[in-house]
Amino acid sequence: MNNRDIIRRLETEHDLSREEAVFLLNTLGDKDEKLLADAARKTALDQFGNKIYIRGLIEISSYCKNDCYYCGIRRSNRNAVRYRLSEEQILSCCEQGYALGFRTFVLQGGEDGYFTDDRVCAIVRAIKARYPDCAVTLSLGERGEQSFRRLYEAGADRYLLRHETADRTHYEKLHPPQMRFDNRMENLRLLKSIGFQTGAGFMVGSPYQTTENLADDLLFIKAFQPQMCGIGPFVPHKDTDYRDCPHGSLRMTLILLSVIRLMNPNILLPATTALGTIDKNGRELGILHGANVVMPNLSPQEHRADYSLYDNKISTGEEAAESVALLAEKLKAIGYEIAVGRGDYQDNTN
């Protein structure tokens, strides 16, 4: 087994075994790393040209009933500042985003009982009525079949629910017993079967993570075939037990972005905020390693700091939706431009 052969197989067959994944992640040297990145970038260019999709992220609630051990807005964090956006505030974010050129709005929040199906459906309908040319993405956690169906019928197009880790034992180390690995996976399956363009994803370098765990994440993404996959480095939060854990590595995140691109050529793959948080060029590097989506922050400025999933989360500069011109400039400097339109997943496998 050698990495050149594995990369060649990734390029031509878009596949790799668990054993190959572990070998690659453990032994990839600088030269082959460049080969991998070049192959991933070329694959993304073949699929999407030099166009990068933008999504306007609106963080609607920092309340959450869950207590994921790594998360800064987990229920038991008394230091977290809690807020919720009203429907009017959310619509005003959309108005601002629409004027800036966004055609996808991502409503993200903790699992907050205030946002009942009735409330979220009303918000989705209001956005779709005002902006029929826009896609609405929801990222509101595990809500179960009935809720997902209602949200889909109200017009939501996409749903993001990171699986976090495809390994049950590892999942249990990151979550309290009330949160079940099987539920997470079942919710993901439901989303896809209902018809949502579905996003899964995982953290890189989370506590207790092994290379084998990452290999399983890669194989899970390949088998589940989500339309989107969000991966970013784990970044510790000061009010969690993992405060002293090191953040996930830039290098490993970039390698995994490239492998995911090669395994799933047409997947929508964001260069995440967490990547931009650990390195000021993280987002551009992500794109140069095969990512094709960025999600600048459209939340009201006064609440951005409060949606503190991890420490030092960036929300200014090109991470802020209002700085879309700056983002366009940064993309241009590396040979890319912002795509016009919703940027739906294209199933071109047939």
Contact residues for ligand SF4, defined by CB under 6 A: 64, 66, 68, 71, 73-74, 110-111, 141
The 135-139 sheet, strands edge to edge: 56-61, 104-109, 135-139, 158-160, 197-204, 228-233
CA distance 31 to 39: 13
Q: What's the min distance (Å) between Cβ of 76 and ligand SF4?
A: 9
Closer residue to ligand SF4 (CB): 158 or 289: 158
Closer residue to ligand SF4 (CB): 31 or 114: 114
Closest C-alpha to 36, from 313, 260, 228, 210: 260
Task: Please say whether the beta carbons of 66 and 74 come within 8 A.
Answer: yes
**Residue 212 three-state SS:** helix
Closer residue to ligand SF4 (CB): 111 or 344: 111
Q: What's the min distance (Å) between Cβ of 71 and ligand SF4?
A: 3
Closer residue to ligand SF4 (CB): 179 or 271: 179
Closest C-alpha to 188, from 165, 217, 211, 159: 159
Q: What's the min distance (Å) between Cβ of 119 and ligand SF4?
A: 18
CA distance 122 to 106: 15
Q: What's the min distance (Å) between Cβ of 64 and ligand SF4?
A: 3
Closer residue to ligand SF4 (CB): 64 or 136: 64
Handedness of CA 90, 321, 62, 180 (dihedral sign): positive
Closer residue to ligand SF4 (CB): 140 or 294: 140
Closer residue to ligand SF4 (CB): 111 or 306: 111
Q: What's the min distance (Å) between Cβ of 80 and ligand SF4?
A: 10
Closest C-alpha to 272, from 314, 301, 302, 238: 314
Q: What's the min distance (Å) between Cβ of 111 and ligand SF4?
A: 5
Q: What's the min distance (Å) between Cβ of 200 and ligand SF4?
A: 14
From residue 49, alpha-carbon distances to 40, 46, 145, 346 in Å are: 13, 6, 36, 13
Q: Is 227 left (phi over 0), alpha (psi -120 to 50) or beta?
A: alpha
